[in-house]
Amino acid sequence: MSELTIDIGSEGPARVVRLRGELDLASHGELASAVAEPVDGGRPVVLDLTRCSFIDSTGLREVVQVAGLGEDEQSATAAIVITPGSLPSDLFALTGLDSHLKLFSTVEDALAWLETDRAEPNGKSGRPSTSAP
């Protein structure tokens, strides 16, 4: 079993949360704690899963909650960074969440999208890209 390590930083207007290891039943509370303040404050979150080696259903639910799926249009914006072809990428495709989550290949792409998205009146600037870097 691999532990989960969470590194938190700020880049521009966003809180960048980088996960390394396994996001599962044993560790999902750590993610909730890491994003509670920015999400509750309406600050955008970039969740970097490029070094996340495993996600179970509990971890997947946590990602969905961080992303604000099912929330109203005023909820905090969360962008998810994944490596195309990785376990998280395959999991999002298998569950159909890839068509609902804001997925990017790099943190830089996610940050650029957040800046564009925040500049649009309705916060809608089109579907983000998940093309490989």
Confidence band, pLDDT 50/70/90 cuts, at residue 32: confident
Residue 133 lies in a domain: no
Residue 36 lies in a domain: yes
Give yes or no for residue 107 having a pLDDT over 60.
Answer: yes
Residue 66 lies in a domain: yes
Residue 91 lies in a domain: yes
CATH number of the domain bearing residue 44: 3.30.750.24
Give yes or no for residue 9 having a pLDDT over 60.
Answer: yes
62 vs 117: CA distance, rounded Å:
23
Mean pLDDT of 67-72: 64
Residue 55 lies in a domain: yes
Confidence band, pLDDT 50/70/90 cuts, at residue 121: very low
pLDDT of residue 29: 84
8 Å CB contact between 39 and 76: yes
11 vs 25: CA distance, rounded Å:
29
Number of domains in the chain: 1
